[in-house]
Amino acid sequence: MTELATYNFAYLDEQTKRMIRRAILKAIAIPGYQVPFASREMPMPYGWGTGGVQLTAAIIGPQDVLKVIDQGADDTTNAVSIRAFFQKVANVAVTTRTEEATIIQTRHRIPETKLNANQVLVYQVPTPEPLRYLEPRETETRKMHALEEYGLMHVKLYEDIARNGRIATTYAYPVKVAGRYVMDPSPTPKFDNPKMHLSDALQLFGAGREKRIYAVPPYTEVVSLDFEDHPFEVQRFDKPCTLCGAEQVYLDEVILDDKGGRMFVCSDTDFCEDRRAHGHVGPMLAPNGPAADGLPGSKEAAE
Amino acid sequence: MYVAVKGGEAAIANAHRLLADRRRGDRSLPALGIDQIVEQLALGVDRVMAEASLYDRTLAALAVRQARGDMIEAIFLLRAYRTTLPRFGYSQPLDTAAMKIERRISATYKDLPGGQLLGPTFDYTHRLLDPSLLTDEEVDEPMQRPAEEGRVMRVSEILDQEGLIEGDGAMPVDHEIGDLTRKPLEFPMSRDLRLQALARGDEGFLLALGYSTQRGYGRTHPFTGEIRIGEVEVELDVPELGFAVSLGRIQVTECQMVNQFKGSAKAPPQFTRGYGLVFGQSERKAMAMSLVDRALRADEFGEDVTAPAQDEEFVISHSDNVQATGFVEHLKLPHYVDFQAELDLVRRMRRDFEAARDSGMDPMTEAAE
Amino acid sequence: MSLTPSTFGNDALTGGFTDPVFDGQSVFKLMMDAMARPGTLQTISTEVAPPAPLGIAAGAIGLTLCDHDTPVWLSTSLGRSSLPEWLSFHTGAPIIQERLEAAFAFIEAGMALSSFNQFGIGTQEYPDRSTTIILEIESLEGGKDLALSGPGINGVSMIAPVGLPDSFLRIWNDNRALFPRGADLVLTAGRQFLCLPRTTKIIATEM
């Protein structure tokens, strides 16, 4: 019977790691520019984080502590699956605590806790090209980036305003990096865009299926595209987290019953647990109980 | 009271267990043997090898079994395994002219040296479900006759004797073999890389595109010059020895289409080519591949690119079913954070709409100001 | 040219990583941090022994990043040492004469350098296809202060290298003017190194 291969540390062979490492270094040297790389087939499907996984696999070492989140939560199925993958192939320490992690691999959210200079944030990116839905051809979009011709994007945003009264992009909101490249921040809600600006941490972006790696070094300008008369605005939630009372954080809507009852809780599960561990409570857990705030049935939490 | 959702790990473990149970099915039935799959589902195994781009019947059969018969899932399994294997180098080009032929047909000539050899084809079967296959009925031994010795000439050589067909896609001497698994793709692509992508491409996708060319979406006037199926030697150059070493034989299907002739002010008209080469007995795929190959060469012949099958970036970007299924199926992953952002926006816009309407203004005009 | 063991001196066969997987990762981590935070001094603690005159940091970087796919250019003394065989043996990297094509260029201390233009500076569409230059100098500390700013740097940070080429600031400004094209630089001195990606702005603060 055919002998199946044993796997190298962190799954990737050394030649693949070198190829990705070289791409990472060039990406850091050209903030926001998408470096093409020969993405490998990974044991999870394209579109499910293979870019992020290849980045993490290329940089991770035995001393690292890995956190993996999806939608801000450590316990969503894909985050669980990726974390288990690295435990198996790298035997590395894992954590759900943002503060304890040295590498955080994320899908669609940036942690609420401010990151520090010892951390690397690895984003999973489905569509790295910010212009892709405006121009499907790679041959054309590459030229636009080369010539810094981003007119198409400004036109799109302006048409939104003309049609809807506001810019209708709520996630994957395009940004300009270090004053040069327009970049797709991955499908994080635009709420998270300000966190990318002048971060203490290194941010790496991996798109496995589309075969691109890009980076934002620490302390780098990341500016959301807008117009003078329609400046960039983040979403606001007008009620705090029902469980921990946090304000100015991104909240998930949870449906409680079939009569429209709903509540809003922190998307960042570690942030929420940590606040509750330190005694913060939201309306549901407060001594006066849920009735105090008219929950369930409250529909206007996000205004 | 609401308790935050936990237990993703436990759910996944249980899902894996349930999957394994369903895969095995009724325990009173004998388990499928890998050798049975290799022997009796051979064409399925061939497809998996072809699109996984890895020639190993046992592993492909394992993948088919593990995937419970889902072919794209099996292709994914084998492709992922391929990535882990060490690479030693590139073989010599396969000499399909020296093939040990099991099937060989040509639509361009009624008879020709080497003859029309039907082989184990479904072609002239009547598509009537056969109840004898519900049980294990005795199957006759096939008819045999002594094998023909020597090389069977290619149909393209016949045309070439009169200079009627273009050359065989020779690349410049110093051309480095393209390998899209090693370097990221760039458009426009050279033909060797395109053919590699097509060889790995989804049979259904290429079939539809090939079909579209026959219906006028980028017509190429194809004739099947030759299809041959059989075994070829795989040879590897070993510099230390100074000669090539045979690694063994693999079965491949080769299709040469003879397409719309093309001439110019300087050269008399010649037939042009489309090429398909696939692991195993994969005739439909080889034919579809050759139709699409020719359509993608539209530029070379100064033909207008008007149809999807001629659009290189479109065809090659979407031909890989492992990538395609990954991205299509990724829509199952939680997207509630981004959906929340959209909900927020739509609710807000609806409030604006109502406010404008209530105050007697035209909501659409309001928005445009 | 076919390389057999008998064409290698003993130098070439030794001095590589004892544990390529973990040594490669730890050196890369230092490089990634250094490129992300330009001007940060890093020290190689891994035991490697590249043939003289290549420094330890430069050798470790070569072992970490070079392989079959990365053409390497070597300056004169480096090319004449057993470095070509050492790199061939340990990494399989092809040594080339054409600077434009080099993925990595190793330059010995004291070599005259008038511009980065002879090296790969990438194209407007593919600025990543440029050379990473590894330049050995006398020391990374103790010289005249240079103020660094730009991506990766919180405000301004200072470095004080000794032994940079005379017209370094002009060379660097010429390189920066090409952005997004341009070469990226690693300064090495023995076991130490720092990185200067093409985005870094460098100003002399002392005359």
Q: Say if the Cβ atoms of A46 and B327 lie within 8 Å.
A: yes
Verify whether residue A206 is a known catalytic residue.
no
Residue A282 annotated as catalytic:
no
Amino acid at A104: I
Whether B292 shows a pLDDT value over 80: the answer reads: yes
Chain B residues whose beta carbon lies within 8 Å of the beta carbon of residue C69:
182
pLDDT tens column, C6-60: 445 667 788 999 999 999 999 999 999 999 999 999 999 999 999 999 999 999 9
Taking CA–CA distances from B183, the nearest residue in chain A reads A38
* Spatial separation of the C-alpha atoms in residues A83 and A88, rounded to whole Å: 9
Interface test mutation site (partner A, options C28, C72, C153, max chain A beta carbons within 10 A): C28
Confidence of residue B114 (pLDDT cuts 50, 70, 90): confident
* B55-80 tens-digit pLDDT: 999 999 999 999 999 999 999 999 99
Query: CA-CA distance, A37 to B182, in Å (whole number)?
Result: 9
Q: Give me the residue label for tokens 């022997």.
A: B39
Two tokens, residue A16: 């693949």
CA distance B368 to A176: 26
CA dist list (Å): C45 to A118, A120, B180, C57: 19, 22, 37, 9
Q: Check pLDDT > 50 for residue B2.
A: yes
Q: Which residues have C-beta within 8 Å of that of residue B185, sequence separation ≥ 6?
A: A36, A211, B193, B197, B316
CB atoms within 10 A of CB B333: 19
- What are the structure tokens assigned to C34, written together? 């250094």
Q: What is the pLDDT of residues B211-226, one digit of tens each?
A: 999 999 998 889 999 9
Whether ipTM tops 0.90, in short, is: yes
Give the C-alpha separation, A298 to C173, whole Å. Answer: 60
Contact C151 A59 (CB under 8 A): no
Search chain C and give the residue with CA nearest A57: C25
Average pLDDT, integer, range C147-153: 98
| Beta-carbon separation of A189 and B367 below 8 A | no
Question: Which pTM was predicted?
Answer: 0.89
Look at residue A4 in the predicted model and tell me its pLDDT. Answer: 58
Q: Peptide bond preceding A31: is omega within 30 degrees of 0, i.e. cis?
A: no
Burial label, A118 (beta-carbon count in 10 A; 0-12, 13-18, 19+)? exposed
Q: Are C35 and C194 in contact (CB under 8 A)?
A: no
- DSSP-derived pairing of the beta strands C72-74 and C104-107: parallel
* A78:B333 CB<8 A: yes
Residues 6+ away with beta carbon under 8 Å from C169:
C202, C204
CA distance A295 to A257: 11
Instruction: Check whether C132 has a pLDDT greater than 60.
Output: yes
The one catalytic residue in A51, A72, A266, A282 is A266
Q: Is A266 a catalytic residue?
A: yes
| 3-class state of residue A123 by DSSP | strand
Distance (Å) from the alpha carbon of B88 to chain C's nearest alpha carbon? 12
pLDDT at B175: 87
Which CA distances in Å does C100 have to B18, C105, C116? Answer: 57, 10, 10
Burial class from Cβ neighbours inside 10 Å (0-12, 13-18, 19+) for residue A88 reads exposed
Residues of B in contact with A302 (CB under 8 A): 340, 343-344, 347
Mean local confidence (pLDDT), B34-41: 97
The strand pairing partners of A280, in sequence order, are none
Task: Look up residue B32 and give its amino acid.
Answer: L
Distance from CA of C36 to the nearest CA of A (A): 5
3-state secondary structure of A224: strand
Tell me which chain A residues have a C-beta less than 8 angstroms from the C-beta of C154: 200, 218-219
Nearest CA in chain A to C199: A29
- Nearest by Cα to A91 from A63, A120, A118: A63
A281 near A244, Cβ under 8 Å?
yes
Question: Is A121:A104 a contact under the CB 8 Å cutoff?
Answer: yes
Q: What are phi and psi of B36, to 5 degrees?
A: -65, -40
Contact B221, B274 (CB under 8 A): no
- Tell me how close the Cα of A276 comes to any Cα of chain C, in angstroms: 34
Identify the weakest region by mean pLDDT among A292-301, B106-115, B261-270, B286-295.
A292-301
Whether A32 is catalytic is yes
Q: What is the mean pLDDT of residues B336-363?
A: 88
In angstroms, the CA B339 to CA B343 distance is: 6
C10 lies within 8 A of chain B by CB: no
Strand pairing report for A202-207 and A212-216: antiparallel
CB A98 within 8 A of CB A275: no
Q: Is B315 helix (H, G, I), strand (E, B) or coil?
A: helix
Long-range contact pairs involving A284-293 (C-beta distance under 8 Å, separation at least 24):
A284/A242, A284/A243, A284/B1, A284/B2, A285/A242, A285/A243, A285/A244, A286/A245, A290/B1, A293/A239
For residues A40 and A50, what is the distance between their CA atoms, to the nearest angstrom?
8
Give CA angle at A125 (A177, B178), nearest 5°.
Answer: 100
Search chain B and give the residue with CA nearest A76.
B8
pLDDT at C2 over 70: no
Q: Could you list the pLDDT tens digit for every one of the 303 residues in chain A?
A: 345 557 799 999 999 999 999 999 999 999 999 999 999 888 899 889 999 999 999 999 999 999 999 999 999 999 999 999 999 999 999 999 999 999 999 999 999 999 999 999 999 999 999 999 899 999 999 999 999 999 999 999 999 888 888 888 999 999 999 999 999 999 999 999 999 999 999 999 999 999 999 999 999 999 999 999 899 999 888 889 999 999 999 999 999 888 888 899 999 999 999 999 999 998 887 766 554 444 443 334 443
Q: At A3, list the tokens.
A: 């002998």
Find which of B14, B51, B84, B347 to mutate to test the A interface (most A CBs within 10 Å of its CB). Answer: B84
What value does the mean pLDDT take over residues B316-328? 96
Examine the pLDDT at B366 and tell me if it is beyond 50: no
Token pair, residue B182, equals: 């090693």
pLDDT in tens, B122-158: 998 989 999 999 998 899 999 988 877 778 888 999 9
Strands A103-107 vs A65-70: parallel, antiparallel or unpaired? parallel
**Cα nearest neighbour of B7 on chain A:** A75
Question: B317 contacts in A (CB within 8 Å)?
Answer: 138
Instruction: Provide, as residue numbers in chain B, all residues whose Cβ is less than 8 Å from the Cβ of A46.
Output: 322-323, 326-327, 330
What's the confidence (pLDDT) of residue B369?
42
Contact between residue B233 and residue B259 where contact means Cβ atoms under 8 Å apart = no
